[in-house]
A and B are shown apart, each in its own frame.
Chain A
């Protein structure tokens, strides 16, 4: 196992980021809108009010446009682990492949089967069967999120696994540990609830546009009422799951947490930065200030990470150099142990090939003692473990700021709807309309925090991205990167145009 071409790693990462970023534009809306549509159809079935059927069908139409491009951008994600991360696919495929396969079996067939009934079955099945199909589409898409986040949660916090030196891969030892990995389910809950928030914003934003245009008023008000109630509940839930996610980072990915907060120097009673501008000259080993400007909430980070005002939160400096007082090993030491693991694994394989049992036993013993640090053996210098701090920091703060704003937005809208003042408050309707792009920005930011914040690791502390790629020429990845960029952008433009047109046509024609 030798180091791979850095440009190959960069292009592979760029392509994965591009395709995941695009896919993530569409998934959260599907996760939430399927539920909103199911709720609306439930109201129709309960009340028999044909107005609700019309409302359901309109939102369902928009869902279909979004769903199609979600599938288009999604199929590549299933195969990209193999095409672009084939070393990864071998080294952790024994664990990682399972949730992906279960996702296919449990979720994709459910979605695709009942999607057909949901769209084309209005006249072919009974009202209740149709409603059940709509709910099953919602459940199916959320089950899909569950399994992919079990897989992703495992990448952030690998559990239930053991490295088998004969096959040279990590193998699953406990399925339940992987399924009930705390990182996986906090991630799952935070992700789906953020999707519900986006769907609520989507419905509110479009309905606000109708109110501003003074058309389809009854439809818009009803939709807003459902979406804002749903939105408020799920955004509060999203806040608590966000808190859980940060705690998971504190426990298992302290470097990510430090990058999220631009924390170079660890401390007890660590404050949280509500707003700040990072000092570009700051390095972990110089004495520059961390921020050019910042507004901090005392003890906030200690509280967020460890639920205690005076908890110690390590900074990037301590995580690199180590801190004996708090039991933190230096990265250099991990690197040294990792190199021993890499060498002894090679010696073990060689001795086995030569049928030299004694040598193999010795090498294996050395390897087992150091195998925990195997991943570090592929890094060049301690600094390699620092992710892109500005990107992680700003993405995190954007996500949190927008998330808090959405809670306020949902509260105010609910209040104004109940007092029947909403349609008069045109400035607020405009604000609601333009909050939708913020929802998308918050979504992408969240994804950036999760994925950029854990670099250089494909699997936390176990496998760096540099070791994980397929061994192909960087030129070929560059070609497919640009093909994806062009095709997905073209499809996105088509999707936005079609969606906008359908909104302009309105629910009456749906």
Chain B
């Protein structure tokens, strides 16, 4: 059935899958946000153990989503995988280091003879949740602001700056994007804890964090959204594929794709409702609204980048080297083969949802953590 689809439709389909994966990954950042709140919310060792164990049952999903995100980009948009990872080398390496240390931190933190002491592993969790997320935001920000790469006639690429992507951290928009994700992660963590932890002290402190950090998040969010709708972007001619600058490119994309605009608007409202209902109505279900909201907004932003003849990875070094879903994708055959594979996605999502449901049926307590022989 996928064989009949046009090359462009397949490319758009795969860009949508990339968007969904990016959205799930960003949703799972509540784990990282929670890691940075360990000492603000947990004042005793038992409370901190409770927080770590709550997150410890979920962290691997975010980790898998990151790996899957990389795999999907490799399979569907190999030129992006090659150009960005191989060019913005230091940024991606820094991100990976932040995730390497996360992977051992949960399991090793409380184990006797862990060589470096519990504190070190808690620092690992903090670095992963702060620097890791901000760097991801910076990397994603460059999809709007561009990277310094050149792609030659043979489609082989190189970076033109020896800072290999770190220069992206000097761009205020990119940093704001990173900080927006960072505060979003912390807000989501608060909402997740409110929903799944049975401990009044932690939930009370979480509420205070929510009260203040919502405003900081909104500040960055408004700045980022404001910048996106006012910034110029690269567009390409559907026939000649020649890239040119277009003022208000993303605003034009929003107008041209009302569904995407609607997703972002509904997502934003849902996210804000999740926060507001927790703050003022003492609802415990805020995470559902903020989660769905986050997912919708991220999908919308990613579609805004790739659809409507937009370059999703503009090159600052050579405009014509900019990447589009058309010039960076896998072959028609591979996209068809991978599209069949993508039919597994609903199945995977449903068993994840089932597992989530059975594990989170009852709220987690300090007693449960302490009575479990295998706790983190």
Partner of A79, one of B85, B156, B159: B85
Are A470 and B86 CB-contacts (below 8 A) given A168-B154, A168-B155? Answer: yes
Contacts of B89 in A (CB 8 A): 83, 470, 472, 476, 480
Indicate if the CB atoms of B333 and A104 lie closer than 8 Å: no
Residue among B83, B112, B331 facing the most chain A CB atoms (10 A cut-off): B331
Task: Please determine whether A113 and B373 come into contact, CB atoms closer than 8 angstroms.
Answer: no
Across the interface, B76 reaches (CB within 8 A) one of A97, A110, A502, namely A97
Stretch at the interface among A116-124, A187-195, A453-461: A116-124
- Contacts of B55-87 to chain A: CB distance below 8 A: 57-58, 60-61, 63-64, 66-68, 70-76, 78-79, 81-87
One digit per residue, 1 when the CB lies within 8 angstroms of any chain B CB and 0 when it does not, for chain A 149-193 equals: 000000000000000100111011101000000000000000000
The residue from A97, A109, A124 contacting B81, defined by CB atoms under 8 A apart: A97
Q: Is A101 a contact of B358 with CB atoms below 8 Å?
A: no
Given contacts A64-B107, A476-B90, contact A90 B155 (CB under 8 A): yes
Please name all residues of chain A whose beta carbon is closer than 8 Å to the beta carbon of B79 when the two chains form the complex: 90, 93
Do the beta carbons of B74 and A483 come within 8 Å of each other?
A: no
**Complex contact A94–B60 (CB within 8 A):** no
Q: Are the CB atoms of B93 and A83 closer together than 8 Å?
A: yes
Q: B68 is contacted by which of A109, A113, A472, A480 (Cβ under 8 Å)?
A: A109
Note all chain A residues with C-beta closer than 8 A to B330: 93-94, 97-98, 171-172
Residues of A within 8 A of B362 (CB): 124
Interface residues on B, range: 35 or more
**Chain A residues with CB below 8 A from B6, complex form:** none
Shortest CB-to-CB span from A492 to chain B, Å, is 10
- Say yes or no for A78: interface residue by CB 8 A criterion: yes
Give every chain A residue within 8 A of B72 (Cβ-Cβ): 101, 104
Give CA–CA (A455, B348) in the complex, Å.
38
Name the one of B68, B70, B154 contacting A82, with C-beta atoms under 8 angstroms. Answer: B70
Docked Cα-Cα span, A105 to B344, in Å, equals 8
A98 touches B334 (CB 8 A): yes
Decide yes or no: A108 and B352 within 8 Å by CB, A82-B84, A94-B78, A120-B372 being known contacts.
no
Q: Decide: A125 near B358, CB < 8 A? Known: A171-B331, A497-B115.
A: yes
| B164 located at the interface, meaning its Cβ lies under 8 Å from any Cβ of chain A in the complex | yes
B115 engages A120 (CB within 8 Å): no
| Interchain CB contact under 8 A, A172 and B106 | no
A501 to B334, CA, bound (A): 48
Chain B residues whose C-beta falls within 8 Å of the C-beta of A95 in the assembled complex = 334
B341 touches A105 (CB 8 A): yes
Interface check A114, CB cutoff 8 A: yes
B348 and A471 form a contact (CB under 8 A) = no
Q: A104-B71, A114-B355 are known contacts. Are A498 and B76 too (CB-CB below 8 A)?
A: no
Q: Which of A69-77, A227-235, A380-388 contacts B (4 or more CB under 8 A)?
A: A69-77
Q: What's the minimum C-beta distance from B240 to chain A, rounded to whole angstroms?
A: 13
Tell me whether A78 and B67 are in contact in the complex, defined as CB-CB below 8 angstroms, given that A60-B374, A172-B331, A494-B108 are known contacts. Answer: yes
Q: Which residues of A contact B342 (CB under 8 A)?
A: 105
A-B contact count (CB 8 A): 269
CA gap between A71 and B74 in the complex, in Å: 19
Give Cα distance in the complex from A82 to B72, angstroms: 13
Alpha-carbon gap, A498 to B90, bound state (A)? 32
- Residues of B close to A121: CB separation below 8 A: 358-359
Is A83 touching B86 in the complex (CB atoms < 8 A)?
Answer: yes
Is B345 located at the chain interface by the 8 A CB criterion?
yes
A278 at interface, CB cutoff 8 A = no
Q: With the chains together, A111 CA to B359 CA distance in Å?
A: 15
How far, in whole Å, are A78 and B355 apart by their CA atoms in the complex?
26
B331 — which chain A residues lie within 8 A by C-beta? 94, 164, 167, 171-172
- Selected contact of A171 from candidates B97, B156, B334, CB within 8 Å: B334
Chain A nearest CB, measured from B87 CB (Å): 7
B250 at the interface (CB under 8 A from A): no
CB distance from A208 to the nearest CB of B (A): 22
From known contacts A101-B75, A494-B108, infer whether A501 and B373 are also in contact, taking CB-CB under 8 Å.
no
Instruction: Evaluate contact between B74 and A89: CB separation under 8 angstroms.
Output: yes
**B105 nearest CB neighbor, chain A only:** A68
**Contact status B92-A109, CB under 8 Å:** no
- Is A1 among interface residues, defined by CB-CB distance under 8 A? yes
Chain A residues whose C-beta falls within 8 Å of the C-beta of B358 in the assembled complex: 117, 121, 124-125, 129
Q: Which residues of B contact A (CB under 8 A)?
A: 53, 57-58, 60-61, 63-64, 66-68, 70-76, 78-79, 81-87, 89-90, 92-93, 96-97, 99-101, 103-104, 106-108, 111-116, 153-159, 162, 164, 330-331, 333-334, 337-338, 341-342, 344-345, 348, 351-352, 355, 358-359, 361-362, 372-374
16 of the cross-chain contacts (CB-CB < 8 Å) are: A65-B108, A68-B107, A71-B103, A75-B66, A82-B74, A93-B75, A93-B82, A97-B81, A105-B345, A117-B359, A168-B154, A175-B333, A349-B154, A490-B115, A494-B114, A498-B111
Other 10 A-B pairs with CB < 8 A, given A61-B374, A82-B74, A121-B359: A65-B111, A81-B85, A86-B81, A94-B78, A101-B75, A104-B71, A104-B72, A112-B61, A119-B374, A472-B159
